[in-house]
Structure 1
């Protein structure tokens, strides 16, 4: 209906039986690793026990799929499992900003970029956490099926077709302070120091040396 190709979608697992997630969900998986043999796109949506290498069977399955031309995707913590295959060695990668230091420590040969939403290396794609995984998957649809198809899909799932910015806006950092701050910074600092008071837009704009419109 959206002009997209029909996907043969399969959820695969290493282990037999139901899979219980940290989110309280239980997933019944019908396919094992053998289902990866004919896949064009393989997505690892997350991972557990980040310091423990994935089973050799999964690593080998991902390497074989990559060699025959499949696109390998690691979403959020799924990047850790993809990194274990060696496919990201000497290349750029993304993961949830809270785990970038851990990924870098485990795989020092990878250039981990904590501020981006996703990174496309052509044959291997990685993304930051949760919502960034949606941005990444929409990017894959755009690259494979075109901008119009991606736009239709974005509208269907009520998602921005292309989100600006990166993870930097979500990373917790202390506010930098400078000795010779400009009037704009001084005005905002004054508001921060007196958050219990009422501040009008006109008064703060005046303190910043700007017109109301420019300050807004």
Structure 2
């Protein structure tokens, strides 16, 4: 029940791999005894970034483990190594709990373990994973997904969230919280919490809306309408909507809504302003409205978001 196999091959992402090694490979028997026995498994000596690793066991060890963890790897444009895919599939068939961190989801998808299931990966690769594996329901807006014996995480810090989730499942919340304090990370973030991805503006270009975006961003506190935007862009509302979809992939009002929430996120991170003040500054009207839309889109209330991303000293905006 304590054996964790870390499946590695050339090109694995060292950050996600290191997280798993820190959580499951450290001697933490003072927290829970027995702790985990981490076994590094690979087909041969592998290169991970600038480092060379010597696996303890071959990939044929994976079916003997209770939990198999597949870190992400860099070359997502290529198909995952066949021997790794076969070994992960065999481990799952043998009853192992199989976990992917970040782009390790490509391996699980190639093994068929995600077919018909909801899964996640780093938001930047979500569309590609969904296109290449249409039988997988890829959710780019969560930190991790627990399907029982198959679990997937988003990238970077979300990989730690999933590792702590596994500890919580195996040893309880008290142990997981103690470990989180040791690692100086938040003790618990729900898997359904959003990945907190900033929505960028379209790149500067000579498209017809290039001058409209900065104009609108300076007036997010005002009740802008499609007609206001069309008037500023000197085009009809119909033409404006068509250009918006071509440039941003969404409608003018949805774009405004996204930018207002993005501004609210920035203010929560960097100022001491109240939620009421931020609602007014972002054109959301009232704190109740901001909280409703923020919870629906980001996945947590504004106050929780602020506690998560808060800097130690935040300036209060004038006025």
Q: Same fold (TM over 0.5)?
A: yes
Aligned-partner Cα distance in 1 for 2:183–2:167: 13
Q: Per-residue displacement from partner, 1:119-176 (whole Å, max 9, x unpaired)?
A: 0000100000011000001001111211111111111111211125321x22434499
Q: Which moved more, 1:113-122 or 1:59-68?
A: 59-68
Alignment of 1:115-134 (within 5 A): 115-134=141-160
Cα distance, 1:108 vs. partner? 0.7
Aligned-partner Cα distance in 1 for 2:140–2:32: 35
One of 199, 214, 233 as aligned partner of 1:172: 199
Question: Contact 1:47–1:81 (CA<8 Å) still a contact in 2?
Answer: no
Cα distance, 1:77 vs. partner? 0.7
RMSD in angstroms over aligned alpha carbons? Answer: 3.3
Aligned-partner Cα distance in 2 for 1:111–1:51: 20
Alignment of 1:177-196 (within 5 A): 178-179=224-225
Q: Which residue of 1 is the match for residue 48 of structure 2?
A: 20
Distance 1:179 1:140, change over 3 A: same
Distance 1:71 1:151, change over 3 A: same
One of 76, 81, 86 as aligned partner of 1:60: 86
1:152 to 2:204 alignment: no
1:74 to 2:100 alignment: yes
Aligned-partner Cα distance in 1 for 2:107–2:174: 32
Cα distance, 1:18 vs. partner? 4.0
Cα distance, 1:17 vs. partner? 2.5
Question: Contact 1:19–1:29 (CA<8 Å) still a contact in 2?
Answer: no
Following TM superposition, the consecutive aligned residue runs of length 4 or more in structure 1 with deviations greater than 6 angstroms are 206-211
Cα distance, 1:12 vs. partner? 1.4
Aligned-partner Cα distance in 2 for 1:18–1:104: 28
Aligned-partner Cα distance in 2 for 1:49–1:99: 11
Distance 1:157 1:60, change over 3 A: same
TM-score by length of 2: 0.53
1:105 to 2:131 alignment: yes
Aligned-partner Cα distance in 1 for 2:119–2:286: 41
Q: Which residue of 1 is the match for residue 34 of structure 2?
A: 5
| Secondary structure of 2:37's aligned partner | coil
Greater RCO structure (CA 8 Å; 6+ sep)? 1
| Secondary structure of 1:57's aligned partner | helix
